[in-house]
Amino acid sequence: MAAGEARPPVVLVSGAGEVGLDWAVVFPSLAEKARVLAYDRAGLGASDPTSRLTLDSQVRDLVALLGDVGPAVLVGHSWGGLLAQLAAFACPDRTLGLVLIDPFHEDSTAEVPLALRLSSSLLYNAIPLLKRIGLFDRIAANMGRALAERCTDDPEIQASIIEAYRASYRTFAQVATIRAENRLANTCTPEARAARAASAAPDVPMRILTSTRGKPEALRRRSHDLADQTAAVFARGVHVVVPDSGHYIHKEQPAAVVEAVLAVHAQANRERP
């Protein structure tokens, strides 16, 4: 998806197994003030399948996109937050600002209760089976409907959003990529740590937003501590805890996300040569 005019562009990076359409709640408001692009990673949505998915390949794809659209403000949710950070480290000259929305951090997994880890693993392993027996299409339709209802009251537009969402997961390969990305999140710790250790954060405006609901208390505290640490790496990093928000802050508290992105965009625009 792409819309809007004002530069620099804003590139939206979705969470694990999610597509560009996941940003539909905040997309129109952002596009009023900036050129906004939300892309599907390899294997998902409208993008081509991928034979081998790795953390490095996903970061390289994002860096290549920045090469096409020019220096940009990067906005990443969850898994996309990690990808946005690593792309900023790998290509600081193409990164003008950074907004991380409840981002994934490789050091948070130790605080995930064992029961939750096991249940998540079972769920993601079951997703391809659900697709084969026809149940995943029903799940996708329900998720698309929930997204559409957050976006608009217009029944025709809602129907279009639902159909676009279902199309994003129409093939078995698209659905299998959901499992593959979530597995990658569970195995990327050494690679992500090495990338952080070998990199310097660019001196750009940066905000990190974290949620207050939906996580076990120990994991929530750990996520906030890691957000503080992440913000401290950036000379102009700011950590904002968003009240009454779950993991999908851009859907539940869209105004907070729009405000953060547009503030970073405005600052980046003032600083452009």
The rounded distance, in Å, linking the Cα atoms of 47 and 235 is 35
Q: What pLDDT is stored for residue 102 in this prediction?
A: 97
| DSSP type of residue 2 | E
Q: Which of 24, 32, 25, 23 is nearest to 4 (CA)?
A: 32
Share of the chain above pLDDT 70, in %: 95
Strands 2-3 and 95-101, bridge-based pairing: unpaired
Read off the tokens for 258: 């729009």
pLDDT band at 9 (very low <50, low <70, confident <90, very high): very high
| DSSP type of residue 108 | G
Q: Which of 33, 7, 91 is nearest to 268 (CA)?
A: 7
Helices (H), 48-108: 55-69, 79-90
Q: Which domains does the chain have, with CATH numbers?
A: 2-112+189-271 (3.40.50.1820)
Q: What pLDDT is stored for residue 113 in this prediction?
A: 61
The rounded distance, in Å, linking the Cα atoms of 9 and 5 is 8
pTM as predicted: 0.93
Read off the tokens for 23: 């940003």
Q: What pLDDT is stored for residue 16 in this prediction?
A: 94
Per-residue pLDDT tens digits for 76-134: 999 999 999 999 999 999 999 999 999 999 988 766 666 666 667 777 778 888 888 88
Per-residue pLDDT tens digits for 45-83: 999 888 789 999 999 999 999 999 989 999 999 999 999
Cis bond leading into 216, ω under 30°?
A: no
Q: Rounded mean pLDDT of the chain?
A: 92
pLDDT band at 220 (very low <50, low <70, confident <90, very high): confident
Number of Cα atoms under 13 Å in the Cβ half of residue 246: 4
The rounded distance, in Å, linking the Cα atoms of 156 and 118 is 40
